[in-house]
Structure 1
Amino acid sequence: MTDLGTPALVVLAASAGTALAVLLVTFAVGTLKGVHRVVDVAWGLAFTAVAVVAWALSAGHGDDVRRTAVAAATAAWGLRLAVHIARRGRGQGEDPRYARMLARAPGSPALYALRTVYLLQAALVWLVSLPVQVAVLLPEPPDAPFVLGLVVWAAGLCFEAVGDHQLARFKADPAHRGRIMDRGLWAWTRHPNYFGDFLVWWGLYLTACATWRTAALVLVSPLVMSALLIWGSGKRLLEAHMSGRPGYAAYRARTSGFLPRPPRGAARPSPGRRP
C-alpha cells in the first residue's frame, strides 16, 4: 500500500467518506420513512459508489484496463443486489430483524440504529472494498490472478443472481405457500446467494493480487466478508430464524450449509416454509 503513495491515501480517504455519506443519507431516509430496512438496499449502492469514486480518482495512476474492469465488476454486483433487495421489500413494513433490535434499544431507537447498523455498515463497506480501492491504482497490466479473479467474480455473480431468481419465482407461486424452497441451486446449498457473494469478493480480491505485498495487505477484506456471510449476519442469523419452521430440519439434513454439493438422497418437496 505504501508503494502506491499519495494516490492511495486519497482513494482510501475518499472511499471512506463516500461509504459514510451513502449510509448517512440512507439513515435520513430510513428515519423519515420509519423503516430501516432501506439500509439493506444501501449496502450494494455504497459499494458501487466507492468503486466509482475510486475509479475516478485513480485516473492516471492505475492500469486503465484493470481499474475499469474492477470498478465495473463491483458496480454490476452492487447495483444488481440493490435492485433485487429493493424489489423484494417493496410495499412491506419494517424487517423483523430491525424491529426486534429497535424494540430493545436503549434510549433513542433512531440513534441506536445509527450507531449499530448504519455506521457499522459504512465501516464494513470501506474495509471489504479495500481490494477494489487498491486494484484501481495498480500500474501492472492484467495478469493471471486478475483474469482468474474476474472468472471467480462472474461465477459468483451468476450463482447469486440465479439463486435469487429461482427463489423469487418459487415464492410468487401460490401453490408453494408454506413450503421450503429446495429446488435448483437451493437443493445444492441452503444459501446460494451468500455463496455467490463469497465468490464475488474472493474474485475481486484476486484482481488486487498483482504483487505479493498488495495481496497480503488486502487479504483481510475477503476474510471479513466470508466471516460475515458464514458466522455473522448472513447464514448463522438466517438459520437461527428458520430453525423452528416445519420441514426445515429435513431440508438442513440433506442440503449443504454453504459450499454446493449434490443433496443427500432424493430432493423432494417438503411441507415447511421456504427461506
Structure 2
Amino acid sequence: MMLLASFAALALGLCLAMAGAWWAAERSGNHGWVDTVWSYSTGVAGVAAALLPLGDEPWAPRQWLVTALVALWSARLGTHILQRTLQGHDDPRYADLRRQWGASASQRLFLFLQVQALAGLVLVVAVAAAAHNPLPFWRAGDGLGVALFLGAVAGAAIADRQLARFRADPENRGRVCDAGLWGLTRHPNYFFEWLGWTAYPAIALSLAYLPGLAALLAPALMYLLLVHASGIPPTEAHMLRSRGEAYRAYQRRVNAFWPGWPGRSPTR
C-alpha cells in the first residue's frame, strides 16, 4: 500500500506540474515551457522514485547510480530547452497543434499535457525498476547502462552543437542541416534521447529480478512517442512547410530515426 500511495503522489505531482506548464504556455504564448517543465518534473519524480525506500534498509549504491543518471538527464534536457525558451523561441509543434484545434485549443492542450504527465509516470516506473534491482551492485548491466547513458548524452550534445553551428552561419539560411550526425539520421536528438532510456533496462533486467521487466517500458514508450506521435511526425510536417523540396530531398537520402549511411533507402 505504501508503494502504491507513493506512486499515486508522484502521479499527482506530475499532473500538477503539467497543469502549471499549461498555465505558463497560455500566459506567455510560448510553448517551450511545456517541454521544459516536463523534463524537470519527470526528473524530480524519477529521483524520488529511485530513492524511494522499500524497507528499513539504507539506500543502496544502485539507487544512487540511477538517481544520478535521471538527474543528469533532466538537468541537461530541461536546461537546453529552457535556454531556447527564454530566448523567445516557440515550439512549432505546439503552435501547429493550436492552429489545428482552433477554438478548443486551450482545453485540448490542457488534456494533452495531462497525457504527457502520465507518460512521465511510465518513465518514472522504469527508473524505479532499475534503481531497486536487489542483486549485488556493479554487474555487467550496471556498466552497460552507464555506457549507454553517457553515449546518449555525448551524442545529443554533439548533435546540438552541430546544429547550432550550422544555424549560426548566414550562408545556411533556408537550408537543411545535414552536417555530422544530421547526415546519418534526420533526428539525432530524438535517437539519442531514446538511447539514453535503454540504460534502465540494462541495469534492471535479470532472470532473478522479474520486476526489472518494467524498465523496458521506458525505451518502448519513448520510441512510440518520438517516432510515431509527438516527435518526428509534427517536426517533419513543420520542416516540409518551411523547407519544402529541400527537406523532401533530405528525407530521400537520410533515415528518419535509425542512423545509417546517407544515400541508402531511408527507413525509420
TM-score by length of 2: 0.86
| 2:52 aligns with one of 49, 53, 57 | 57
Find out whether 1:160 has 2:159 as its counterpart.
no
Q: Which runs of 5+ in 1 are unaligned?
A: 1-5, 266-275
1:48-80: CA deviations, max 9, x gaps?
111222244338557622111111111111111
| Aligned twin of 1:205 | 201
Quick check: 161-170 or 89-98, which moved more? Answer: 89-98
Aligned pairs for 1:199-238 (under 5 A) are 199-210=195-206, 211-238=208-235
> Aligned equivalents of 1:233 and 1:213: distance in 2?
31
> Aligned equivalents of 2:94 and 2:217: distance in 1?
28
> Aligned equivalents of 1:100 and 1:259: distance in 2?
26
TM-score by length of 1: 0.84
Q: Is the 8 A contact 1:14 1:54 kept in 2?
A: no
> Aligned equivalents of 1:72 and 1:100: distance in 2?
35
Q: Which runs of 5+ in 2 are unaligned?
A: none
Q: Please state whether the residue corresponding to 1:247 is helix, strand or coil.
A: helix
Quick check: 54-63 or 29-38, which moved more? Answer: 54-63
> Aligned equivalents of 2:135 and 2:259: distance in 1?
34
Q: Please state whether the residue corresponding to 1:178 is helix, strand or coil.
A: coil
Task: Say which structure is richer in helix.
Answer: 2
* Post-superposition offset of 1:209: 1.7
Find out whether 1:124 has 2:119 as its counterpart.
yes
| Aligned twin of 1:3 | none
Sort the Cα spacing of 1:178 and 1:106 in 2 relative to 1 into closer, same or farther, 3 A: closer
Sort the Cα spacing of 1:216 and 1:93 in 2 relative to 1 into closer, same or farther, 3 A: closer
> Aligned equivalents of 1:176 and 1:223: distance in 2?
36
| Aligned twin of 1:255 | 254
Find out whether 1:88 has 2:84 as its counterpart.
yes
RMSD: 2.4
| Aligned twin of 1:272 | none
Q: How many residues align?
A: 259
- Which aligned segments of 4 or more residues in structure 1 are displaced greater than 4 angstroms? 59-63
1:131-188: CA deviations, max 9, x gaps?
2122223332332222212211111111112111211121122221111101111111
> Aligned equivalents of 1:132 and 1:193: distance in 2?
21
